[in-house]
Amino acid sequence: MRIGPYVFDALPLVLAPMAAVSELPFRRICLELGADLAPTELLSAEGLWRLQARTLAYLRHDPACERPFVVQIFGARPESMAKAAEVALERGAGIVDINMGCPVSKVTKNGAGAALMNDPERAVAIVEAVRRALPESIPVTAKIRSGWDSASLNAASFAERIEQAGVAAIAVHGRTRAQAYSGTADWGAIAAVKRAVRVPVIGNGDVLCREDALRMVAETDCDAVMIGRGAMGNPWIFRECKGGPAPDRSERGVIVRRHLLEHVGHFGREEVKAVHAFRAQLACYARGLSGAAEFRREVMRIDDVASLLGAIDAFFSA
Ligand SMILES: Cc1cc2nc3c(=O)[nH]c(=O)nc-3n(C[C@H](O)[C@H](O)[C@H](O)COP(=O)(O)O)c2cc1C
């Protein structure tokens, strides 16, 4: 697969952009364990071009492993999206991805995210504006859904439009906006987009193990596989998809410990807030292991890093 100047091996793997999950510490772990790309979560174009500190903080990245650094932006106004792309570029972005799939009403009511699939003219204007704002060497990509709802499954025709407008790759989540994250992903939408465009297509939705990834490629002919929830608490999924081993319990513990410490250091926020924010991810790491329910209850009562590290060590060395 090639996206602009970036060339990838067979079966490239992408960590899905996920709000409050695809943060630098987790992106770094996934990239080290075999992910080829790991975009940021969706960042507000309005926040970026206005240089709002809270939004800019999400542009912190690690050039040593994020090659390229992929920044996902959302917005409804072509001028804002173009200016946001320039800010992302100045701060290290090597690929700018446009969110055309977010189902959250706060985003869609303004015409951004998945609402763009109902408004292809606007989507095209956004791609063209962002494309014009960036040098040729910086690819613009997009992430779409199968459609707005079951009555408007337009992924293939929509993909053709944005390809003509200049996107260099398209990620397809095989669910409609109406489905949000429920039900099963329709990989047929991925196959339909693949047949419709020449740029690389990244398939997404319900990949939970290596067999799923291989089946998605076989059934859709997609060029790369994007993994979201299947990587939460299981970044080893990328290594396993590439034929590597599953982790044992103690290797899990080493990564969880590191993830927590980097998480706390990265955000530099109050210890108790950092510890609380980590709970959801910690629960994912424990999923399926003996004693997980008790461990989850225990960590809900912990407010400081030292005690949490103690609990992690005890649980993962059990
Ligand atoms: C907690 C969470 C946050 C998400 N945030 C984003 C986001 O910021 N940008 C985006 O394009 N998709 C986002 N998504 C959608 C995922 O990227 C992905 O398309 C979806 O989870 C389906 O893939 P999966 O079945 O592998 O999880 C999010 C999903 C989850 C579960």
Q: How far is the CA of 314 from the centre of ligand 1 (A)?
A: 31
Q: What's the pTM value of the predicted model, to 2 decimals?
A: 0.98
- Average pLDDT for 248-254: 97
Q: How far is the CA of 2 from the centre of ligand 1 (A)?
A: 23
**Widest distance between CA atoms in the chain:** 57
Q: Are 214 and 220 in contact (CB under 8 A)?
A: no
Regarding whether 260 and 184 lie in a shared domain, the answer is: no
Residues annotated as catalytic are 102
Q: How far is the CA of 16 from the centre of ligand 1 (A)?
A: 6
Q: Among 241, 273, 289, which residue terminates a domain?
A: 241
Query: Whose alpha carbon is nearest atom 28 of ligand 1?
Result: 18
Q: Are 253 and 316 in contact (CB under 8 A)?
A: yes
The owner of tokens 């090597």 is 94
Q: How far is the CA of 313 from the centre of ligand 1 (A)?
A: 30
Regarding whether 299 and 191 lie in a shared domain, the answer is: no
- Name 93's bridge partners: 69
- Sign of CA pseudo-dihedral 290, 296, 302, 306: positive
Q: Give the C-alpha separation, 257 to 310, whole Å.
A: 10
Regarding whether 174 and 74 lie in a shared domain, the answer is: yes
What pLDDT, on the 0 to 100 scale, is given for residue 69? 98
Is it the case that residue 231 has pLDDT exceeding 90?
Answer: yes
Average pLDDT, the chain: 97
Per the structure block, which two tokens stand in for 220? 């859709």
Which amino acids bring their CB within 6 angstroms of ligand 1? 16-19, 21, 41-42, 72, 99, 101-102, 143, 173, 181, 204-207, 227-230
When divided into structural domains, the chain yields a total of: 2
Regarding whether 293 and 170 lie in a shared domain, the answer is: no
Regarding whether 284 and 199 lie in a shared domain, the answer is: no
Task: Give the amino acid at 166.
Answer: G
> Cα–Cα distances in Å, from 161 out to 121, 260, 281?
9, 42, 37
What pLDDT, on the 0 to 100 scale, is given for residue 267? 80
Q: Among 241, 266, 287, which residue terminates a domain?
A: 241
88 DSSP assignment = H
What pLDDT, on the 0 to 100 scale, is given for residue 101? 98
Regarding whether 268 and 169 lie in a shared domain, the answer is: no
Q: Among 222, 241, 260, which residue terminates a domain?
A: 241
Regarding whether 152 and 284 lie in a shared domain, the answer is: no
What pLDDT, on the 0 to 100 scale, is given for residue 245? 98
**Ligand 1 pocket test, candidate residues 107, 145, 173, 207, most atoms within 8 A of CB:** 173
Q: Give the C-alpha separation, 128 to 162, whole Å.
A: 9
Is it the case that residue 266 has pLDDT exceeding 90?
Answer: no
Q: Are 156 and 144 in contact (CB under 8 A)?
A: no
Task: Give 61-95 pLDDT, tens digit per residue.
Answer: 999 999 999 999 999 999 999 999 999 999 999 99
Helix 292-300 / helix 305-316 crossing angle, nearest 10 deg: 170
**Contacts (Cβ under 8 Å, ≥6 apart) of 191:** 219, 220, 221, 222
Regarding whether 93 and 187 lie in a shared domain, the answer is: yes
Regarding whether 177 and 141 lie in a shared domain, the answer is: yes
Regarding whether 218 and 195 lie in a shared domain, the answer is: yes
Q: How confident is the model at residue 318 (pLDDT cuts 50, 70, 90)?
A: confident
Regarding whether 254 and 230 lie in a shared domain, the answer is: no
Regarding whether 46 and 104 lie in a shared domain, the answer is: yes
**Structural domain boundaries, residue 295:** 249-316
